[in-house]
Amino acid sequence: MKVKFIGKFDTLAFEEGKVYEVISIERGWYRIMTELDEDYLFPPELFEIMEEDD
């Protein structure tokens, strides 16, 4: 699944409006590789779904 970051906080982990690939969904949160080349879990409300997996 591809999601776009729409979070309202200033962070180095994401670029506003950039699309990211969701690696997995764990307990409802998205595991995403950040701009810091590390993967973490993030709440889905920080993202807009751009493309669902088939």
Structural domains counted in the chain: 1
Report the distance separating Cα 45 and Cα 39, nearest Å: 17
- CB 5 within 8 Å of CB 15: yes
Q: Radius of gyration over alpha carbons of the chain, in Å?
A: 10
Range of the domain at 33: 2-8+17-51
Residues belonging to the chain:
54
Q: Is the pTM of this model over 0.75?
A: yes
Report the distance separating Cα 44 and Cα 29, nearest Å: 6
pLDDT digits (tens, 9 = 90+) for 1-54: 999 999 877 778 898 889 999 999 999 999 999 999 999 999 999 999 998 876
The pLDDT of residue 7? 83
